[in-house]
């Protein structure tokens, strides 16, 4: 990759685009444009060499005549791996930032279940002394982590530190420190059958779309909880609604959905064994994301190899 003296960077984000653009360390010769909508990006995309963004509309990629590199503001890149993005364009992601956040999210909700938080809050609202409601131990339970990338491994380490038994599922099936047993995806049903909690942390690819279907849900314990912090489309949503409504699993903690925001009329809102959070398990911290981008920008301008390059065939 040859070095560059000049480049045009488009920072695309529906919210806070200007704030993110202000964090770009742009040397002389680098022009930075912020866009919060397709209309704002239209006048820049044709001459952009670099896009740093989140959920860039595919139609814009089709107009990106000079584009060489897309840096995703996140660990997931499914939105960028579309036919409209020319094969010449390098895609990079932002790993290593979200694991601590997502580990705390997962374990907090596991404790919410075992500490019977909802029952105590309802009793308080009724001014009732609920001495008959007794908390349960989280230690000794089994957590199944489906996806053992950097986020999944961080969740596994955190869970093991709290005394949970951890089982994993990964494409390679290779051993991971702190994980008692690692299954391959073909044995997913057998893995989830062991879990008191099953957390999904896989990228969305052709192989993982609807990975958790009627068969996998049917293999879970009736007392188990599903936690999805991956992508909504990793789960067959209609099958999940049926399993929850029929109490075939205890409940679900859902941070991601097939359609976001979750439509007001969606049946998941009305189920009392579901927790809905608005895709906040791994919140974006602009300064953290900017460090990853600025490091790669310096590499790009110097003609050096970029870090965190995505294998477009695998989807991550």
Give 146's strand partners.
169, 200
Active-site position among 13, 93, 165, 231 = 231
Is 287 part of the annotated catalytic residue set? no
Active-site position among 260, 305, 307, 314 = 260
Active-site position among 279, 291, 299, 308 = 279
Would you give the DSSP letter of residue 11? Answer: E
Is 231 part of the annotated catalytic residue set? yes
Please answer whether residues 244 and 276 qualify as being in contact, where contact means their C-beta atoms are separated by less than 8 angstroms.
Answer: no
Please answer whether residues 82 and 206 qualify as being in contact, where contact means their C-beta atoms are separated by less than 8 angstroms.
Answer: no
Q: Containing H/E element for 120?
A: helix 117-125
Residue 51: CB atoms within 10 A of its CB come to: 28
Q: How far apart are CA 124 and CA 117, in angstroms?
A: 11
Is 260 part of the annotated catalytic residue set? yes
DSSP string spanning 179-224?
A: -SEEE-GGGHHHHHTT-SEEEE-----TTTTT-B-HHHHHHS-TT-
Catalytic (active-site) positions:
231, 260, 279
């Amino acid at each position: 990759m040859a070095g560059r003296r000049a480049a045009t960077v488009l920072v695309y984000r529906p919210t806070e685009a200007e704030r993110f653009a202000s964090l770009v360390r742009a040397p002389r010769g680098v022009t930075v444009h912020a866009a919060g909508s397709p209309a704002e990006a239209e006048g820049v995309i044709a001459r952009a060499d670099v896009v740093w963004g989140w959920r860039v509309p595919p139609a814009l990629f089709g107009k990106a005549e000079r584009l060489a590199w897309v840096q995703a503001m996140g660990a997931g890149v499914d939105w960028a791996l579309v036919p409209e993005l020319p094969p010449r364009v390098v895609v990079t992601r932002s790993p290593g930032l979200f694991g601590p956040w997502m580990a705390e999210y997962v374990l907090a909700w596991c404790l919410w279940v075992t500490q019977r938080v909802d029952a105590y809050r309802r009793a308080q609202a009724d001014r009732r002394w609920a001495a008959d409601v007794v908390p349960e131990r989280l230690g000794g339970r089994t957590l199944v982590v489906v996806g053992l990338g950097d986020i999944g491994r961080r969740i596994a380490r955190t869970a093991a530190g709290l005394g949970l038994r951890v089982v994993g599922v990964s494409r390679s099936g290779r051993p991971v420190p702190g994980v008692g047993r690692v299954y391959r995806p073909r044995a997913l049903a057998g893995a989830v059958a062991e879990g008191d909690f099953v957390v999904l942390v896989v990228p969305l690819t052709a192989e993982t779309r609807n990975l958790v279907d009627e068969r996998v849900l049917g293999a879970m314990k009736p007392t188990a909880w599903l936690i999805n912090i991956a992508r909504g489309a990793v789960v067959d949503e209609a099958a999940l609604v049926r399993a929850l409504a029929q109490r075939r699993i205890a409940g679900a903690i859902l941070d991601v959905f097939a359609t976001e925001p979750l439509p007001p009329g969606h049946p998941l809102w009305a189920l009392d064994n579901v927790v809905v959070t608005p895709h906040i398990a791994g919140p974006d911290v602009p300064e953290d994301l900017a460090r990853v981008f600025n490091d790669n920008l310096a590499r790009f301008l110097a003609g050096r190899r970029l870090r965190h390059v995505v294998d477009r065939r695998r989807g991550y």
